[in-house]
Amino acid sequence: MLFSLRELVQWLGFATFELFLHLGALLVFSVLVALRADLFAPGMSWWLVFVPLFAADGLSTYFTAIVSIRLYQENEKRLAVLRLLWVLTVLSLKLVCEVLLCQKLVEQEQARDLWFGLIVSPLFILLQLLMIRACRVN
């Protein structure tokens, strides 16, 4: 659309397979949210609803670790370390945001100190990092 797949892979630093994985997780997550909201599964815990997103983060970390080890063995040490650092930073920021949001949804009124500005703050940091990376890729 606005970006080709090649540009997206370069910019985001994720492999096509990882993007596929995260899209799949988002699809399952949205189905679970809709099921819970429409009272088809009212007893379902919010932590259970967020499981697809956590699983995608875990699988993506595993995939990145394997790719980085392979790159390291092929003497691409700098590339391996840079890729590992970047993906781990992005995934940890995403994970923090997901955990905080889940916590807020579970506790509702009790978690008044946990305002949405705080929950979304990892995403603001991620946006800045993505802008810096875009300048480098360009």
Partner 1 sequence: MSLAQRVLLTWIFSLIFLIMLVLKLDSKIHWNWFLIFLPVWTFDTILILMLVVKMASRCKPGYDPRDGQQTLRKKVWYLLAILLKLGFCVTLCARLERLTDIWLSVVCIPLWSLLVGAMVELGYNVFHYRRD
Q: Which of 63, 103, 108 is nearest to 83 (CA)?
A: 63
Neighbour-count burial for 40-64, b at 16+ CB within 10 Å, e otherwise: eeeeeebeebbebbbebbebbbebb
Q: At closest approach, how far in Å is the CB of 131 from partner 1?
A: 5
Q: At closest approach, how far in Å is the CB of 58 from partner 1?
A: 19
Q: Which of 43, 46, 9 is nearest to 133 (CA)?
A: 9
Q: At closest approach, how far in Å is the CB of 74 from partner 1?
A: 19
Residue 9: strand, helix, or coil: helix
**In the complex with partner 1, which residue's Cβ is closer, 62 or 115?**
115
**In the complex with partner 1, which residue's Cβ is closer, 59 or 120?**
120
Note whether 107 and 121 are within 8 A (CB).
no
Q: At closest approach, how far in Å is the CB of 77 from partner 1?
A: 25
**In the complex with partner 1, which residue's Cβ is closer, 75 or 117?**
117
Token output for 89: 């930073």
**In the complex with partner 1, which residue's Cβ is closer, 7 or 77?**
7
Chain positions contacting partner 1, by CB under 8 A: 1-3, 5, 7, 11, 16-17, 19-20, 23-24, 26-27, 30-31, 33-35, 37-38, 40, 115-117, 120, 123-124, 127, 130-131, 134-135, 137-138
**In the complex with partner 1, which residue's Cβ is closer, 20 or 47?**
20
For residue 13, give the DSSP letter. Answer: -
Note whether 48 and 78 are within 8 A (CB).
no
Q: At closest approach, how far in Å is the CB of 12 from partner 1?
A: 11
